Amino acid sequence: MDFSWVPAYTGLFLKAFGMTLRLGAIAVFFGTVLGLVVGILSTTKNRILKPIRVILKVYVELLRGCPLLIQLFMVYFGFPYMGINIDISLTTFLVFTLYSGAYIAEIVRSGIESISVGQWEAGYSLDLNYMQIMFRIILPQTIKLALSSLVGFYIGMIKDTSLASIIGYSELVRNGQSIMNQTGRPFETYIMVGVCYFIICYPLSKLVPVIERKAARYDRA
């Protein structure tokens, strides 16, 4: 085992790490926004909104029901085929945002629906309207409930960015492959790549139970 070459490649590792984090951050940020919107809309009971709810449900079910890689391939191969040409970065951002949006929408939706109906009743009886109840009463409680699931999902998202390497996005794994070819040392290369993911994911994973405990701090035992 020989790690002596690692310092020489630090720059490359850091750049690739940055690309991974960039993709992760975009997926997390935009995915959360998208997921919140879709999740909240999914819980409306309005009859007029029914067609939208159906479309959203199909979106969520489909994207949660098949592998991320298939979704990447679909956009990466399918779009040019249909005449839409966008660069790899944009493709990747798009797919990852839609993917995480679907999962987060489901987390948000089930969170909202698990808030007892009594909260809504209390809100309406206090003459608050839907928006006020949703944003001031329901959502804060939902976030509290769903926080640990969300963080868990975010950790998974960081790891899933590795799949972007398959369609050519230049993140850790993709650069790992070229480093492996240059140094001829795949064993050490992939250990280093793994370490990069580990130092982000492991601390975050230790954070999850802490969040759970803090979120439940004022709940009655």
Partner 1 sequence: MFLDWRYPIDHIGELLSGALLTAQISLICFLTSLFLGTLCSIVRYSKKPKVLYILVSIFVEIMRNTPLLVQLFFVFFGVPQLGISFSPWAAGVLVLTLNSAAYYSEIMRGGIQSIPKGQWEAADSLCLSKTNAFIRVIFPQAVRDAFPSIANQLVLLIFGTSVLSILDVRELTQTASILNSQSFRSMEIFTFVMLFYYAVTALILLLTRLVYKKWFASKIERR
Among 29, 50, 54, 77, binds partner 1 (CB under 8 A): 77
Helix (H, G, I), strand (E, B) or coil at 186: helix
CA Rg, the chain, in Å?
21
Give the chain's end-to-end CA distance (angstroms, integer): 52
- Contact segment (CB under 8 A) with partner 1 among 42-50, 97-105, 130-138, 155-163 equals 155-163
Closest CA to 100 of 20, 31, 30: 31
- Contact segment (CB under 8 A) with partner 1 among 35-43, 125-133, 143-151, 161-169 equals 161-169
Q: Is 7 in the site for partner 1 (CB under 8 A)?
A: no
Q: Is 209 in the site for partner 1 (CB under 8 A)?
A: no
72 neighbors 137 (Cβ within 8 angstroms): no
Q: Is 202 in the site for partner 1 (CB under 8 A)?
A: yes
Query: How would you label 13-35 residue by residue, b for 16+ Cβ within 10 Å and e otherwise?
Result: beebbebbbebbebbbebbbebb
Print the binding letters for residues 167-196 with partner 1: x by CB under 8 A, - otherwise.
------x--xx--x----xxxxxxx-xx--
Footprint on this chain of partner 1 (rule: CB under 8 A):
61-62, 64-71, 73-74, 77-78, 81-83, 155, 159-163, 165-166, 173, 176-177, 180, 185-191, 193-194, 197-198, 201-202, 205
